Structure 1
């Protein structure tokens, strides 16, 4: 354990090899040796952390604070700051229906274009509303084609390449995003086998997804397989893994066709028959007939931080890169965010493979994370949109009367667990901290595995250690 009384904002992230000034732990910290807590957690791999006074920047305690570690979803806190600065808290994403020709006799004399604007929150019910608005404009048909445009953001087939093929949190990224680019698969035991359905369900509408199909396979594994055939996404599922009934969301790899297919169904229900959707690379010009605007960016980011939605992080991060004039391809946008962080917070060593933290190649140190939060969060109002981190009692139940209050972002990958944010000590002192843990050797062995053996117990021990460290730091500022 290294204790430092330097200002973290004045040099720790630039290099911690210099002699530290404070070498004696305060009495409140000596009572519970941090190394004993780390040993008891028995995590293997690396445990790194740093906590500092959020006003003065004075470091209270650190361990391995300059060691680059995978941030997991704590990277979303950096992405939120990046997007707030580049786009502004009031930014809205727009999805449009565009006619390339005039409307005469209720018919578009040209093509109708469903044009995505990178909205990560667009859902089936939104498209249903757009279809109703199109009919209300007097449109009853299209003389030309039905085009779908997803070029507002560069396409990425998946966020990370080391995830199982079927996990819904690793979909494709594009400028047209529907239902977080996921399709709903449901199964129910029926006479002679199973009834399988694929749909694009919202709260009020459940249109069938014609661009996706599921086959039942007589095998024990793998659980799912995926292929693209003739413009259709074809899945198979191992029958041995299905119980009586169930459902799950699966990732979509052709999001423009998926969204176009769903809109075609919804428009037909409104009395507006459309031809089959056709992707188009270049945005056609024309008149906007209908526009759907998302919520403002700040509540979108609040939900992203609360529910840790990867596709939202990718969409807002790539949109921020575009606004700043940087390359917005998947990897390029992550590098642009790292360059921005270097300029704005003096963080030299961070690197981001993406904006969500799902990619295993992303790295940031605890000192760099604390520096970024301490320097940038106050001016962009990050803390109010961070989720309140529940402190728990000895039985694992939420302790609502706990004297320490924490607002932070969690991060979880197989054998990686992180927590970064702000804490209010019992006496009201405000601290900023980052705790990064990871056993990267075990993670590498668990690639392409959704629930590797031992991972759940490892994560529980890591989360327990995180709370113990927070309580240790809070003890210095007791009532």
Structure 2
């Protein structure tokens, strides 16, 4: 008999076995230093989990062990029996990234472009990541008297006091299951968060739209004029390149549109494009930058001028016009002649001919967090505004995100948003808010927010942490990075030696060496994983 939650893994077993055989030697060497810790973790946690109401120790331990040793467990073949994170085959991206460990890159916004053909598919959503931890909505609270635990203070204090972390730093550590704050220093002081802002963007978008929401691009025919309008739906993953199943393709849209036109006896159209879903300036305040295309409701491959799918790359100056030109070429190949496209707006009389939709929002969130994808972040900022009746612009989106987080009861004191990506240096967040966001994403009452946790980069394995944590902490820390000039941040989750799932946030401003600052933050997260400070 196969447990229902494991059926998807049985289908995927051959692929996982091939992966495990390929990387087993290297990962076995990495796993050796942490084997004793995993054994201790098993002994410590099993009795506690057996007492959790409404669950089984086996199922909950599967999650906890997976969270602690996600990457390392792959080599041992654990995932051939069951996924380390959820019942839906979560962390496909993690597996594919691990295969490509030798690839260079990994810094937050300074990675070498990754070829589109090599980019892993977005991981599927994870509806049951923390189902076994039980409990309802969690409220973050300090220990009696507001004093952090002395043992944790002794461990983290010296590490976070490193000169590498610049003139000011703040930090918070919270037990995800109980909501108790275990450590805090300046946790209510707002600092520049850099790309950890994307955690807030993700929570706001998921709560406003839902994890199954998709972004749709369509073609509409004006019946009186035979004008064909390519209507942008704000999908930054729309592609003009061959992609795996699940990606929205301009070529697919053109083929379906041509078929519909021919069925109406039309073989020549006036082509235009509609970007009116978004408003306000398209250019981010940082100006023309390889880390972000002009923000448009219509773009193909994030406006990249090469075949990369993540990291910095030169972008086209007008993503909508570029996408429309490519679409015209696909129409021509499908037997429909089109004029040179220009901007327009589809009327209420226009007849929709064909549509293509993005992967679900859960996948977009995971991809955004894993790769620190600024284009997806700015799209989700505007989608949040559009879903809540706001203006889909930088300012309108920032207001919508803040309002959505306030509705969720999160600690917003000092928080200031100007964008969704964190590229704006005027953004401000607190360590208190970042940990509260992660705790909310782990709440049993909010499974819709689970992709916020499953999308976090895995130390030494995925996304912006691929080249960090090359020691025994690889596969243990899962965190969103943040890097701007003079700013370094890290916020995520880790399972400590007592078997507790902890959310942490470390923010530092005034840093002078990004590499030294990253190393200091990584050391603090590693120490947190190794601490039995209960």
Q: Within 5 Å, which residues of 2 pair with 1:74-473? A: 74-101=196-223, 110-125=226-241, 126-137=249-260, 139=262, 145-159=270-284, 161-163=285-287, 165=288, 167-184=289-306, 249-281=313-345, 283=347, 285-349=349-413, 350-378=415-443, 379=446, 380-381=449-450, 382-390=452-460, 398-399=469-470, 401-402=472-473, 405-439=476-510, 458-473=513-528
Deviations 1:260-302 (A, max 9, x none): 1111122222222210101014546322222111111111111
Deviations 1:210-229 (A, max 9, x none): xxxxxxxxxxxxxxxxxxxx
Are 2:236 and 2:302, in contact at CA under 8 Å, matched by a contact in 1?
A: yes
**What are structure 2's unaligned runs of at least 5 residues?**
1-137, 242-248
Structure 1 residues 287 and 418: alpha-carbon distance in aligned structure 2, compared to 1, 3 A threshold: same
Q: Within 5 Å, which residues of 2 pair with 1:53-72? A: 53-72=175-194
Larger radius of gyration: 1
Structure 1 residues 283 and 70: alpha-carbon distance in aligned structure 2, compared to 1, 3 A threshold: farther
CA shift for structure 1 position 54: 1.4
Structure 1 residues 93 and 10: alpha-carbon distance in aligned structure 2, compared to 1, 3 A threshold: closer
Distance 1:95 1:174 in 2: 13
Distance 1:391 1:470 in 2: 16
Are 1:68 and 1:365, in contact at CA under 8 Å, matched by a contact in 2?
A: yes
CA shift for structure 1 position 471: 3.0
Distance 2:519 2:421 in 1: 24
Are 1:404 and 1:425, in contact at CA under 8 Å, matched by a contact in 2?
A: no
Structure 1 residues 113 and 433: alpha-carbon distance in aligned structure 2, compared to 1, 3 A threshold: same
CA shift for structure 1 position 175: 1.2
CA shift for structure 1 position 44: 2.2
* Root mean square deviation, CA, Å: 3.1
Equivalenced residues, count: 377
Distance 1:53 1:24 in 2: 12
Are 2:374 and 2:421, in contact at CA under 8 Å, matched by a contact in 1?
A: yes
CA shift for structure 1 position 248: 7.5
CA shift for structure 1 position 321: 1.6
Give me the TM-score of the superposition, normalised by structure 1.
Answer: 0.71
Structure 1 residues 293 and 462: alpha-carbon distance in aligned structure 2, compared to 1, 3 A threshold: same
CA shift for structure 1 position 306: 0.9
Question: Which secondary structure state, in structure 2, belongs to the residue aligned with residue 358 of structure 1?
Answer: coil
Give me the TM-score of the superposition, normalised by structure 2.
Answer: 0.64
Distance 2:360 2:140 in 1: 35
Distance 1:175 1:292 in 2: 14
Residue in 2 that maps onto 1:198: none
Distance 2:471 2:526 in 1: 15
**What are structure 1's unaligned runs of at least 5 residues?**
1-7, 103-108, 185-200, 204-246, 443-453
Deviations 1:204-247 (A, max 9, x none): xxxxxxxxxxxxxxxxxxxxxxxxxxxxxxxxxxxxxxxxxxx9
Match status 1:476 vs 2:534: no
Question: Which secondary structure state, in structure 2, belongs to the residue aligned with residue 332 of structure 1?
Answer: helix
Question: Which secondary structure state, in structure 2, belongs to the residue aligned with residue 289 of structure 1?
Answer: strand
**Which of 34, 38, 45 pairs up with 2:167?**
45
CA shift for structure 1 position 39: 4.5
Structure 1 residues 81 and 389: alpha-carbon distance in aligned structure 2, compared to 1, 3 A threshold: same
Are 1:111 and 1:147, in contact at CA under 8 Å, matched by a contact in 2?
A: yes
Structure 1 residues 474 and 87: alpha-carbon distance in aligned structure 2, compared to 1, 3 A threshold: same
Higher strand share: 1
Structure 1 residues 130 and 404: alpha-carbon distance in aligned structure 2, compared to 1, 3 A threshold: closer
